[in-house]
Amino acid sequence: MPGTLTPAQMFDHSLVVVKGPSLMNRLDFHAAPVSTETINQGSVCSLNSAGNLVAGCSTGAIMNRPMPMFAIQSINDFDANSDVGNFSGGVMSAVVATGGFEIETTEFVAGTYRPNDLLTAATGANAGNVRRCTVSPYGAEVVVGCVSTGISSNEYSKSVLRFWTMFLPASAHSADSSSSESSSSSI
């Protein structure tokens, strides 16, 4: 019987910045991840209230809206985590959604994506993936991207979704505004 094992490959999860600022000048961010999170290269992620990276991007709270980012490494890549006894790791990095990027990621929920579809961060078992928005911007979903060319197959026959990164905070636009106005008027 021939072999049946398929070892993991370095291109199983990928993020490719196809357009945007050059590597040495792009807007990226580094922080320690929450160790129990599953964050793959290309996953949408954000900071929790403690300043640690978590998979996905929650809608947040009034006047506190997590900024979407896209992971440059997987959480267990050797330069982001390491075997017990090693000094290295502990921090991972991500490009920030407002940095002016067009990216390709393997981390998306399978489906139909047309140019100009708005994207949000999936939740639950799909946390870390992006998916199509189902409501209008500034509604119940945070917008993390806008589809450019959509799904294609990369050089390793992996499905990737190409889109422009962006950030339109979720929900309660009016609540945020009223909070701001209330705050201003109280000064």
Partner 1 sequence: MPYTKDYDVRLVNESVINALRSEDPLMRKEAQESTSDYLRLRLREDGFARKFFNPATITPADLDRQVDTQKPVIVRDMEPNSAGAYSIPFGTTPMDNYIRAPRYRVMFDRIESRRYTADVNDLLTYEMDIRQILNDFILKDIMAEEDRKFMLVVETSVGALNTVNDALGSCQFITVGAMNRQSIAHAMKGLPSTNRHLNPAKALVNNILIWDAVAQPREQIGGNLAEELFVDGFAERKIMGLIWSITIKTDLVGDSDIYMFAEPKFLGDFFILDDVTMSSKSEDYTLSFFAYESVGGTIMNSAAVCKARFSGTQRNWRTGL
Which one, of 140, 165, 141, 136, lies nearest residue 43 by Cα?
165
- Rounded to an integer, what distance in angstroms lies between the CA atom of residue 54 and that of residue 63? 19
Closer Cβ to partner 1, 10 or 63, answer by number:
10
Closer Cβ to partner 1, 12 or 102, answer by number:
12
Which one, of 186, 183, 168, lies nearest residue 60 by Cα?
168
Q: Is residue 88 close enough to count as binding partner 1 by CB under 8 A? A: yes
Which one of 60-68, 86-94, 163-171, 176-184 is the stretch in contact with partner 1 (CB under 8 A)?
86-94
Question: Would you state the structure tokens that stand for residue 175, as one six-digit string?
Answer: 């609540």
Which one of 14-22, 56-64, 84-92, 118-126 is the stretch in contact with partner 1 (CB under 8 A)?
84-92
Closer Cβ to partner 1, 156 or 175, answer by number:
156
DSSP character for 129?
B
19: Cα separation from own chain's centroid: 17
Closer Cβ to partner 1, 13 or 131, answer by number:
13
* Binding region for partner 1 (CB under 8 A): 7-10, 77-80, 82-91
